[in-house]
Amino acid sequence: MVQAVETSESIETVQLVEKVEGTDTLSAAETVETEQVLASVATEEAIHRTKGILRLGHKWTLVKTAAVASVITAVIWGGNHYIVSNMNQVYHVSVNGTEIGVVSDVSMVEQFEASKVKELASSQQDLRMVVQEPMVTYSAEKAFMGKTNDKEVLDKLTGYISAYPIGTELLVDGKNVGVVKNKETANQVLEQIKTNVLDKKKDAKVRILSAAAPVESGELQKIEFVQKVELHDIPIQPQDVVNPDELRKKLETGDVQPVQYTVVQGDCVSCIATKLNISKQVIYQNNPTVVDDKLKVGQKLDLTVLQPTLAVRTVEKVVENQEIQFDTDFEKDSNVMLGTDETLRQGKNGMKKITILVTKVNGLVIEEAVQGEEVVVQPVKALVRKGTKVITGQGTGKFAWPVQSYSITSTFGYRWGALHKGLDLTSPNKTILASDNGKVVYASYDNGYGNHVILDHMNGYKTLYGHMSQMYVKVGQIVEKGEKIGFMGSTGNSTGVHLHFEVQKNDTAENPSKYLNR
């Protein structure tokens, strides 16, 4: 005899068999009960245990045994069908490695996540949003009457999806000067700053000081920012974003307030520049209508000195047509009185093209470098017979302009209580000539006139030539009218390349224009 395993399932099965054995037929309720019992155990185990029971020493009749077998077979088939029909496909959902629940459909979760991401990405209309999505994984399982919690899973998943806005910060030499919504906007601001610099007119005073001939051609070689500019995308708050125009103005002006000045009696450009300690270039650049040193009482001037956060450096190649002044050869005749000249051959100026690289910062010239010269027309020397019979060093009393093709940049007269004792002159030809015959009584440097020469004309008059870069004469030397005595420069107290020229009568400064224009 085989010993049956004493478990709750076997006992329940034995009871079922005994019940079947004791009756010819089963009621509907008993049949359902039988199916439920058999469904609670594995089919093969039920068969195994039933067979074990049948081997017990009970003497069943053949008919009852056959009936019991038929019932058991039917019940086993029905229980198996019940189990299969109640098996469900479910999915365990994990976020970043931690299970948050079980759902019935993966696509439902994926669609929900995609919808949530889209919603967060567009939550700030004018800003870019970075959505942080979790790592969602799924594990499939077949479960008998498996339970799911779809809504709870979706609610939990919502807490794992977040977003934050990002913008573009603009750094100048490592310092944050503003935040805009994206790099495209930042680059537009930077390009507009460059465009504004290129659109500015050339500085009027620089043209006067250089006295350049009309420009034949100009070509931008380089445009760049002086400072280091960086753009970085960073997390921001919406209130951090600034208006692009406001950012541009801040970069261009440094938040400097406008300064306006009203011209009064006795004003001149150099006087105002000295009085307010600003550059002449600023005055001319801010006020394009100002020409030379001409101002009107009551005229309004923009004297704003910008301190831009971001400076623009440009390099332009400029080709200028510059006149070459002809030289004069003299044939001296000791039989002819000094001052009596006879032109034997007329001179003729030449022409050359000069290529210059002009470097500017925010439109102000900071460097001019000559790259090359090309002579287009050679000058023709003049030939003059010149009388030399004269008392040594005595002038003729008639003064000539000390430079050729001159421009007057500052006149003789009082400025803010101080007398400007001469004329300031400039010219494409920087050679300085003796205004009349004379003797060199001074040829040295001081802080005011820089390198300068004084000629004594031996007739009560003296002439002074200031701010030279080079002096060609020395003390005691006798020079003739029109002789080269130096080269124009900007030494001493000077703001640009020019010649300061004085005429002194009995050691008192006179207006040179009285003597030069007669």
pLDDT band at 244 (very low <50, low <70, confident <90, very high): very high
- Tell me which residue of 469, 461, 421, 419 sits closest to 441, measured CA to CA: 461
Among left, alpha and beta (phi > 0; psi -120 to 50; other), residue 507 is left
pLDDT attached to residue 77: 53
Mean pLDDT of 124-134: 86
Token duo for residue 343: 């032109």
- Between 432 and 57, the higher pLDDT residue: 432
Q: What pLDDT is stored for residue 421 in this prediction?
A: 94
Residue range 28-40: mean pLDDT, rounded:
47
Cα 279 from chain centre: 26
From residue 231, alpha-carbon distances to 126, 234, 274, 480 in Å are: 19, 10, 41, 66
254 Cβ contact partners less than 8 Å away, ≥ 6 residues apart: 306, 307, 308, 309
Mean pLDDT of 412-423: 87
Average pLDDT for residues 81-85, to the nearest whole number?
Answer: 63
Q: Which residues pair with 144 in a beta bridge?
A: 87
What local confidence, expressed as pLDDT, does residue 203 receive? Answer: 41
Give the distance, in angstroms, between the CA of residue 190 and the centroid of all CA atoms in the same chain.
4
Query: Region 416-426: what's the mean pLDDT?
Result: 89
Residues 6+ positions from 516 with CB-CB distance below 8 Å? 399, 400, 401, 435
The pLDDT of residue 183 is 94
Question: pLDDT tens digits, residue range 325-359?
Answer: 999 998 988 888 666 788 999 999 999 999 999 99
More confident residue, 143 or 403: 403
Instruction: Give CA–CA dist 346/329, Å, rounded.
Output: 11
Residue 84: what pLDDT? 63
pLDDT score recorded for residue 72 = 53
Q: Which of 255, 284, 254 is nearest to 272 (CA)?
A: 284
* pLDDT tens digits, 355-394: 999 998 888 788 888 889 999 999 999 999 988 776 667 8
Query: Pick from 322, 320, 356, 353: which is nearest to 221 by CA?
Result: 356
Average pLDDT over residues 168-192: 94
Write down the pLDDT at residue 241: 92
- Residue 73: what pLDDT? 54
303 DSSP assignment:
-
Please report the pLDDT score of residue 210 as a whole number: 40
Per-residue pLDDT, 324: 93
pLDDT digits (tens, 9 = 90+) for 463-505: 999 999 999 999 999 999 999 999 999 999 988 899 999 999 9
Report how far residue 106's alpha carbon sits from residue 89's, in angstroms, rounded to the nearest whole number: 11
Provide the pLDDT for residue 247.
92
> What is the 3-state secondary structure of 463-518?
EEEEEEEEECCCCCCEECCCCEEEEEECCCCCCCCEEEEEEEECCEEECCHHHHCC
| H or E element in which residue 102 lies | strand 98-103
Higher-scoring residue by pLDDT: 139, 31:
139
Edge to edge, the sheet with strand 350-361 lists 215-225, 312-324, 350-361, 364-377
Give how far Cα 257 sits from Cα of 85, 385, 424, Å: 85, 64, 34
State the chain's mean pLDDT as an integer: 81
Residue 6 has pLDDT above 90, yes or no: no
Q: What is the architecture, at CATH level 2, of domain 391-518?
A: Distorted Sandwich (2.70)
Q: What integer pLDDT is reported at residue 502 of this predicted model?
A: 97
Point out the least confidently predicted range of 20-34, 98-112, 158-172: 20-34
Question: Residue 66 corresponds to which amino acid?
Answer: A
Please answer whether residues 47 and 69 qualify as being in contact, where contact means their C-beta atoms are separated by less than 8 angstroms: no
Q: Is 447 exposed, middle or buried (0-12, 13-18, 19+ CB in 10 A)?
A: exposed
Residue 25's pLDDT band, with cuts at 50, 70 and 90, is very low
Going by C-alpha positions, the residue among 135, 420, 438, 470 that lies closest to residue 270 is 420
Mean predicted confidence (pLDDT) in 296-319: 88
Please state which of the ranges 23-27, 57-61, 248-252, 384-388 shows the lowest mean pLDDT.
Answer: 57-61
Is residue 22 over pLDDT 70? no
Tell me, what's the pLDDT at 207?
40
Q: Which two tokens stand for residue 432?
A: 């300085």
Neighbours of 33 (CB within 10 A): 14
Which pLDDT score is estimated for 106?
93
* DSSP for residue 380: B
Cα separation, 137 vs 94, whole angstroms? 5
Residue extents of the structural domains in the chain: 8-85, 89-160, 391-518
* Tokens 């030449």 -> residue: 350
Does pLDDT of 313 surpass 80? yes
Higher pLDDT, 85 or 140: 140
Give the mean model confidence (pLDDT) for residues 311-316.
91
303: pLDDT confidence band, cut at 50, 70 and 90?
confident
Across the range 279-304, mean pLDDT stands at 86
Cβ within 8 Å of residue 304, ≥6 positions away = 256, 257, 258, 259, 286
Which CA distances in Å does 176 have to 184, 225, 250? 17, 16, 12
pLDDT at 52 over 50: no
Q: How many CB atoms lie within 10 A of CB 221?
A: 12
**pLDDT of the residue at 478:** 93
Residues across the chain: 518
Lowest mean pLDDT among 151-165, 202-216, 362-376: 202-216
Compute the average pLDDT of residues 77-97.
Answer: 76
